[in-house]
Chain A
Amino acid sequence: MYPPPAPPPAVEVHDLWVRFGEVEAVRGVDLSVRAGESVGLLGRNGAGKSTTMKVLAGVFPASAGHVRITGLDQHRHPMATKRLVGYCPDVGGLVPRATPWEHLQLAARLRRLDASWEDRARDLLERFDLGDVAHRVTAGFSHGMGRRLSVVLAAFHGPAVLLLDEPFDGVDPLGVEATLEVIADARATGAAVVVSTHLRDLAVDACDHAHVLRGGRVVGSLADHELEGEAGAGVYRALLD
Chain B
Amino acid sequence: MPASTARSSTEARTAVERGRDVVAEARRATADVGPLLRLRISGLAGSTKRRLGLLGVLVGMLTLVAATVPAWGPGAGSGDRAQNLLLFMPSAYLGVLFIAVVSATASGGGRELLARDEAVAFPVSPTTDHLGSLLMAPLNVAWLLQAWVVLGATAYVLGPERLLLVQLPVVLWIAVATAGAQVVAWSFEWLRRTAHGGLATGILLGLLAALAVTAVAAGAVTGFLDRAPTVRIVLLSLAGRNGDWAAYAGGLGVLAALALVLVVLGAVPAHRAARRAPHEETALETSHHPARPLPGSDLRMVLRIDRAGIWRSVPLRRGVAVLALIPGGVALAGGLGWDMLLIMPGLVASGGALLFGVNAWCLDGRGGLWRETLPLSPRLGLVSRAIVLIELLVGATVGTLLLASLRAGVPSLAELVALVSVTAVVAMMVTARVLQWSVERPYATDLRSARATPAPPTAMFGYSIRLAAATTMVSLLFTGVVELGDWRLPLLVAVPFLLFSTRRLVKVARAWEDHPTRARVLATVAG
Contacts and interface: CB of A to CB of B under 8 A. Distances in A.
A178 interface: no
B373 A83 contact: no
Contacts, number: 129
Nearest to B376: A110
A105 B375 contact: no
A137 interface: yes
Contacts of A92: 365-367, 369, 526
A135 B289 contact: yes
A98 B308 contact: yes
Interface residues of A, number: 41
B223 to A, nearest CB: 46
A194 interface: no
Interface stretch (B178-186, B235-243, B294-302): B294-302
A153 interface: yes
A137 B312 contact: yes
A83 B373 CA distance: 8
Contacts of B527: 91
A79 B375 CA distance: 5
Contacts of B304: 102
B370 A87 contact: yes
Interface string A85-112: 1110101111111110111011111110
B434 to A, nearest CB: 20
A129 B282 CA distance: 22
Given A61-B519, A137-B284, A95 B371 contact: yes
B305 A102 contact: yes
Given A60-B519, A61-B515, A135-B291, A94 B367 contact: yes
Nearest to A80: B375
Contacts of B515: 61, 78
Interface in A46-96: 54, 57-61, 78-79, 82-83, 85-87, 89, 91-96
A140 interface: yes
A95 B289 contact: no
A59 B372 contact: yes
A103 to B, nearest CB: 8
A95 B364 contact: yes
B375 A111 contact: yes
Contact of A97 (B290, B308, B369, B523): B308
A57 B301 CA distance: 22
Interface string B368-383: 1111111111000000
Nearest to B374: A110
Contacts of B244: none
A199 interface: no
B333 to A, nearest CB: 35
A136 B290 CA distance: 9
Query: Considering residues A83, A94, A98, A140, which has the most beta carbons from chain B within 10 angstroms of its beta carbon?
Result: A98
A96 B525 CA distance: 13
Contacts of A82: 373-375
B365 A95 contact: yes
Nearest to A93: B370
Contacts of B301: 105-106, 109-110
Nearest to B311: A97
A169 B520 CA distance: 25
Contacts of A140: 282, 285-286
B359 interface: no
B526 A98 contact: no
B197 to A, nearest CB: 19
A98 B287 CA distance: 10
Nearest to A61: B515
B123 interface: no
A91 to B, nearest CB: 6
B375 A95 contact: no
A179 to B, nearest CB: 17
Contact of A95 (B286, B290, B291, B367): B367
Contact of B286 (A83, A134, A136, A150): A136
A109 B365 contact: no
Query: Considering residues A89, A97, A98, A107, which has the most beta carbons from chain B within 10 angstroms of its beta carbon?
Result: A97
A106 B374 contact: yes
Contact of A57 (B291, B312, B365, B373): B373
Query: Considering residues B305, B313, B375, B446, which has the most beta carbons from chain A within 10 angstroms of its beta carbon?
Result: B375
B374 A111 contact: yes
A136 B523 contact: no
A83 B284 CA distance: 33
B522 interface: yes
Contacts of B372: 57-59
Interface in B372-411: 372-377
A98 B371 CA distance: 12
B227 interface: no
Contact of A109 (B295, B369, B370, B519): B295
A233 interface: no
Contacts of A110: 298, 301, 374-376
B367 to A, nearest CB: 3
Given A98-B309, A109-B295, A139 B448 contact: yes
Contacts of B286: 136-137, 140
Contacts of A85: 373
A81 to B, nearest CB: 9
B516 interface: yes
B449 to A, nearest CB: 11
B280 to A, nearest CB: 13
Contacts of A61: 515-516, 519
B288 interface: yes
B307 to A, nearest CB: 10
B70 to A, nearest CB: 47
Contacts of A86: 373
A93 B527 CA distance: 12
Interface in B317-367: 363-367
Contacts of A93: 366-367, 369-370
Contacts of B376: 110
Nearest to B365: A96
Considering the complex of A and B, which 3 residue pairs feature the smallest CB-CB distances, nearest first? A92-B366, A95-B367, A140-B285
26 contacts: A54-B369, A58-B373, A59-B372, A92-B366, A92-B367, A92-B526, A94-B365, A95-B305, A95-B371, A96-B446, A97-B363, A98-B305, A99-B289, A103-B370, A106-B301, A106-B371, A107-B374, A109-B294, A109-B295, A110-B375, A110-B376, A134-B291, A135-B291, A137-B285, A137-B288, A137-B312
Given A96-B446, A136-B286, 10 more contacts: A59-B522, A60-B523, A79-B375, A91-B366, A92-B366, A95-B368, A96-B365, A102-B304, A137-B287, A140-B282
Interface of B: 282, 284-291, 294-295, 298, 301-302, 304-305, 308-309, 312-313, 363-377, 446, 448, 515-516, 519, 522-523, 526-527
